[in-house]
Structure 1
Amino acid sequence: MDVIKAIVVDDERAAVESLSIMLNKYCEDLNIVATAMSINEAKKVIVEHNPDVVFLDIMMPDGTGFDILEALPDRNFELVFVTAYNHLAIKALKYCAIEFIQKPVCKDDLTKAIDKVKNNRGIVRNSSLQYTVLFENLGNELPNKLCLPTERGLEVVDLGEVLAFESKDGGVIAYTIEGRSIVSEKDIDTLEDTLLDSKFSRIANDLLLNLKKVEIISKGEIFMHGGKTFNLSAEQINEFKIRFGNPPY
């Protein structure tokens, strides 16, 4: 059995010790090779130990996880944020498809994160784009950029330019005002949860619609800004009108 080498980084000693205890208890094939209480110390132990995963508090007194990625752009380890941040910061992490565990850490979240680490083990990745978008989103009251994993890599979309997400073959297609169709492996249920506080609404099992871009509601169609249309049943149209009335929203 291959042992997963882990490093725990947090500026609070109690947090480092608590997470270390949980990892040792619930992850038998994981070995904590080092801990650190600052970004600078973390950089040193990462280079020294070449870990498989780093558990990192999102904001440290001397920097952030983005600083680690800038220093180590061709990383071959997984980065998992462990954060006590508020609701909006958690939402920003979800928008950017970044793996995180919310404090206080629970067993299920921890074991799920380790399973993902195992699946991604050995993949060299450059996540600078994700973290650039993350810190841009953190500066807004509500995130406006969304990271979508695609076959070609990560695609960042401005939610104000997205008309809708349509479920297809286990993933989604994002339709934009410019006429682009972006195919992503994200599933529509996850997207609905991520965009819960936005102007996107699930108006059908396979359709998540940007209400701000609805122009006309007809008998069997919804016309979007830019001319894109979506066909709906009479029942779905009636339910839509009951819930939202007529545009603009």
Structure 2
Amino acid sequence: MRAIIIDDEPDAVELLSIRLNQKCPQVEIVATCISSIKGVAAIIEHRPDVVFLDIEMPQMNGFQVLEAVEAIPFALIFVTAYGKFALKAFRYSALDYLLKPIDSNELMQAIHKIEKQKQTSKEQVSHLKSQFSNTTKTFPDKIALPYQNGVAFVNLSEIVYCESDDNYTKFYISEGQFYLVTKSLKEVQELLEERGFLRVHRQFLINLNHIKKFVKGEGAYVIMTNGVSIPVSRLNKDRLAEYFGWL
């Protein structure tokens, strides 16, 4: 796997290079650039498999670097020092990122993921860029769901519920289809629970706007708008009642 590192901080470039050499022998660094302009030239010349890219750089930021490249026939990993909002923005776009200073385990996980998903789509980058340009710091109404054949952009309002499948999550959509995504339900919960979703069971996260009926009692459950019954744990019966203000 041939890699290029583009970051205006020489120390960050050096540290990432060391981590890759130590922990990811399958990655060959073909170019390192502390100039974003030289980074564009390096991408065109070397045609890498993966690009490690900082966002905030002088002359051209990371988005402008990608705009200067006609296509993105490579996997993309952002390297960033951004805070909480930005990290969620990456997740909404299903894009990989590494926090500075680079953690070796997180680096190996990122490389493992891109070995499965070979390249990044321009739609994912556009989705991320729109969030960074959003001065109100509100999250989008769409989420990117990478699946076996590509990336689907789905309105949050169309997601009926999510179901845990070991380290994967199934997203069930109102139109009837589902997407299997390589995220744990806990990761999905952290992203969506503040957007009208609630973890009602260890295996299920539901869209509260898609509840059709709530059946109380010892074996409580909800019936969703698509007709599926979802069990509600004893602990989460009270959370449901609190959310809707039920007596």
Q: Do both share a fold (TM > 0.5)?
A: yes
Describe the shift of the 1:68–1:228 C-alpha distance in structure 2 as closer, same or farther (beyond 3 A).
same
Describe the shift of the 1:207–1:32 C-alpha distance in structure 2 as closer, same or farther (beyond 3 A).
same
Instruction: Determine whether 1:173 maps to 2:171.
Output: yes
Runs of at least 5 residues in structure 1 that lack an aligned partner in the other structure: none
The secondary structure found in structure 2 opposite 1:85 is coil
Tell me how far 1:168 sits from its aligned partner: 5.9
**Equivalent position of 1:75 in the other structure:** 72
Kindly provide the amino acid, as one letter, of the partner of residue 96 in structure 2: E
Encode CA deviations 1:199-221: one digit per residue, 9 max, x unaligned. Answer: 21211233211224445423354
**Equivalent position of 2:241 in the other structure:** 245
How do 1:11-90 and structure 2 match up within 5 A? 11-90=8-87
TM-score for both structures, normalised by structure 2: 0.80
Instruction: Determine whether 1:142 maps to 2:146.
Output: no
For residues 129 and 202 of structure 1, the distance between their equivalents in structure 2, rounded to whole angstroms, comes to 29
For residues 21 and 151 of structure 1, the distance between their equivalents in structure 2, rounded to whole angstroms, comes to 32
The secondary structure found in structure 2 opposite 1:228 is coil
Encode CA deviations 1:107-126: one digit per residue, 9 max, x unaligned. Answer: 11122223334445xx4x46
Tell me how far 1:18 sits from its aligned partner: 2.3
The secondary structure found in structure 2 opposite 1:194 is helix
Tell me how far 1:136 sits from its aligned partner: 2.4
Is the CA contact 2:23–2:104 (under 8 Å) kept in the aligned structure 1?
Answer: yes
The secondary structure found in structure 1 opposite 2:195 is coil
Tell me how far 1:61 sits from its aligned partner: 2.7
Describe the shift of the 1:59–1:196 C-alpha distance in structure 2 as closer, same or farther (beyond 3 A).
farther
- Of 201-210 and 187-196, deviating more is 187-196
TM-score for both structures, normalised by structure 1: 0.80
Encode CA deviations 1:121-173: one digit per residue, 9 max, x unaligned. Answer: xx4x4611111111223324234321112344211112134232234695413
Aligned residue pairs total: 237
Describe the shift of the 1:242–1:6 C-alpha distance in structure 2 as closer, same or farther (beyond 3 A).
same
Describe the shift of the 1:39–1:216 C-alpha distance in structure 2 as closer, same or farther (beyond 3 A).
same
RMSD: 2.8
For residues 113 and 186 of structure 1, the distance between their equivalents in structure 2, rounded to whole angstroms, comes to 12
**Equivalent position of 2:112 in the other structure:** 115
| Matched-pair identity in % | 33
How do 1:83-98 and structure 2 match up within 5 A? 83-98=80-95
Runs of at least 5 residues in structure 2 that lack an aligned partner in the other structure: none
Tell me how far 1:51 sits from its aligned partner: 2.1
For residues 210 and 58 of structure 2, the distance between their equivalents in structure 1, rounded to whole angstroms, comes to 42
